Chain A
């Protein structure tokens, strides 16, 4: 069942990526009259609820691949492979990761070893949203699972991604993985998400708006200290005259908070040497717009494809040495706790409920590189005077 090599799947994904990426969605409806508001996402992190004494992980954080490798070695081999203990984890990565019975890379082939169980989050609380059917949208699309209580007391919060990764050092707040992801995007501009809200008649309260997601091909606009600046212009990634990423969902704005209806959304991703076109199923978003319109922050919850997750984790490479992570145990646990989109044949779930927190600054989303089609540009001054006075 688990014989398919992740390496082969990564290669297949890369070859299919171009085709997948250019699949543009048809508009849900024509944009209503009104202005548009653009944002560029600046940080995107797993919504991880963490207590001061790591109570959510009562057995402590997970053990990394390096320790499992170390445990498996005889004393002479430890001395031989680590230069008498002088080699750092990073230096011995290429030996340690190939700890399969035939020297396989256990991240590319996570089923060739059987490691101790992965430590899951045991907390009752989590960030996130109720994804599995109370609103009727995803009814029948989930597998049995424990639910969290939201930080604000909301019942039935689904966030199995947090349950899976909340006790992995590198995936916790300020951990290596996410810090790298955000820094990577900031420095090289890959995988930058643009959010464009169209049909806005009132930026504080509007019963019907359309939310569009694109990928930017322009780098972030930063100040001298490296802080994100608002009002930069960002061209969208296009292919053959059409946006590569063009997911669209309906939404509304209530007291300055954008609330979207569930919808499947493709978002670009880059981090830790991996580029992905990520599919977030039934994504809902709550984004609070600052009163001056310069920034926004919010939470997005969705079902996150299991294969995409493991593709990413499998390719993290030597970064895992400092992130204390172990692919095989994560792989097994992820399949055990997957709670969304059961396979029609096997009945096994293929996605994890997830929640992410993000920040954004206002941006001009430039379509087709033509000034006439830019959003939020014409009459900006009038709009600001009217909207944010």
Chain B
């Protein structure tokens, strides 16, 4: 008997040990205060396309966001809308509403037809606003909100003599509402932790959807949020897996990498047409697409090692890109083809793509400094200080300088004490990319002088630009950077102090899983840390949050 008891105790002890190893492996976090953030331009566009269809065109410009912790999405938490920006948003809202209610679209975007197209039809309007408003606000509309939208539509219909124009007025009002333009996170008392709060189910659904799909929650996610089931770990797991298995994951991941790689700057990338005649807007746009396609191929389709994006020779090319890469393309009239740069070709990984080398160059020449800075800040999440205000560029830009190559010109940096500190971080790596000019084209000389393209990154020496990929792949900061950025993207904020251990844990998990991005996404999305919130400062005294959409 005592032997049996001993075995039982041992089994119990082992069970606790295993549990401790499992549960104890994930450091707890307390999160940060719930946020309120402005939709980014890509999110806005994505949402409109998802709800109303790709046929809806969106003109106008959006207020710029301040990149924070490497992401515009994080910057959106500190954003505000300027009066000029509001004007733009208002115009967009009216334009979108007019398109949605137009004759071409109304039959499939409006769930009912008015009894009289020239008179108000509150019932039909209510049905439309109820369904559409739920998707736009990422929660059901409160009775007051719904009544208000119907009232606007009815009044406008009476004034304008057209039900659909009236409906458009009500919809435009919704599209300009803070409830649509801002992702507002609400908290509620946490039933499992007395005195603590948790994100309400809608806020959780929004975090999850924006993280994985880059857009608002869909109908199903809203439904499980509405029922409260999303708080249950099993339902959360089911939804996470559903979102991860959806083709829309690629759309979400594209938005993330587009943000992380600073690709919004490609839209305004200009090159000197005399120096780089082959560079064009088409090249720039396709360069962005090329890198995103390459990354999606590695991390999603192949479910490969994230670090392979730095060393893959496989990519996708279009006609305009073929001119810069000097590669024949099978569809010069449009379309894309898979291509693998042959052994010996220095095009290795995304850092040698046009989207990186041309983007981080000047209009008329390359820039080892900008490239080195981008390698460190964008791909390795390291901070390179801004140049001091007193910096003297005259030596560097001296037209009489006997220097012919960038390496010769940049020697100024190493002998100027004010420059040397930072340029030691940027120039050795950037100079190793000098076999690619400011437009992303290969070269071996500058002004007729051979280029010494040896480089170094954190102790990894390489002889030319083909070495930058392996240098990045072997750098432990690269996967750690992705972990940091993805977690920031998921929470739309800079990680806080109490999350450091958790981030380290994520890095280990990422490594354990073979640096597979899909597994990392799942780890983050299922982790409690992504949804953890602290009591908002204004509500510390008393948690008194009414459930949304129920008033």
Contacts and interface: CB of A to CB of B under 8 A. Distances in A.
B326 A381 contact: yes
A303 interface: no
Contacts of A380: 326-327
B541 to A, nearest CB: 63
Given A218-B333, A223-B273, A371 B339 contact: yes
A248 B338 CA distance: 31
A232 B332 contact: yes
A99 B342 CA distance: 66
Contact of A366 (B329, B345, B442): B329
Contact of A227 (B277, B328, B444): B277
B345 A233 contact: no
B550 to A, nearest CB: 58
B323 interface: yes
B280 interface: yes
B330 A381 contact: no
B146 to A, nearest CB: 52
Nearest to B280: A224
B327 A377 contact: yes
B417 interface: no
Nearest to A370: B330
A375 interface: yes
B269 to A, nearest CB: 14
Given A229-B278, A364-B322, A389 B333 contact: no
B273 A225 contact: yes
B345 A231 contact: no
Contacts of B345: 379, 381-382
B342 A379 contact: yes
B323 A221 contact: yes
Contact of A233 (B329, B346, B442): B329
B331 interface: yes
B280 A232 contact: no
B337 interface: yes
- Chain B interface, DSSP helix/strand/loop, else mixed: loop
B328 A364 contact: yes
Interface string B304-345: 000000000000000100110011111111000111001011
Interface residues of B, number: 24
Contacts, number: 79
A300 to B, nearest CB: 25
Nearest to A369: B330
Contacts of B327: 364, 377, 380
B171 to A, nearest CB: 40
Contact of B346 (A225, A366, A376, A381): A381
A376 B328 contact: yes
Contacts of A235: 330, 332
Contact of A232 (B273, B323, B331, B342): B323
B433 to A, nearest CB: 15
Interface centre among B273, B280, B327 (most CB of A within 10 A): B327
Nearest to A232: B323
B319 A232 contact: yes
Contacts of A366: 328-330, 332
A38 to B, nearest CB: 8
B337 A371 contact: yes
A233 B322 contact: yes
B332 A223 contact: no
A43 B473 CA distance: 48
Given A364-B322, A377-B327, A234 B332 contact: yes
A138 B25 CA distance: 89
A63 to B, nearest CB: 44
Interface centre among B326, B338, B339, B442 (most CB of A within 10 A): B326
B333 A381 contact: no
A378 interface: yes
A375 B322 CA distance: 13
B22 to A, nearest CB: 49
A378 B323 CA distance: 14
B273 A231 contact: no
A331 to B, nearest CB: 40
Interface string B276-319: 01101000000000000000000000000000000000000001
A219 interface: yes
17 contacts: A218-B332, A221-B332, A224-B273, A225-B277, A230-B278, A231-B322, A232-B332, A366-B328, A370-B330, A371-B338, A374-B330, A375-B328, A379-B344, A381-B345, A381-B442, A382-B345, A384-B326
Given A229-B277, A366-B329, A369-B330, 6 more contacts: A218-B332, A224-B273, A231-B278, A231-B323, A365-B328, A379-B344
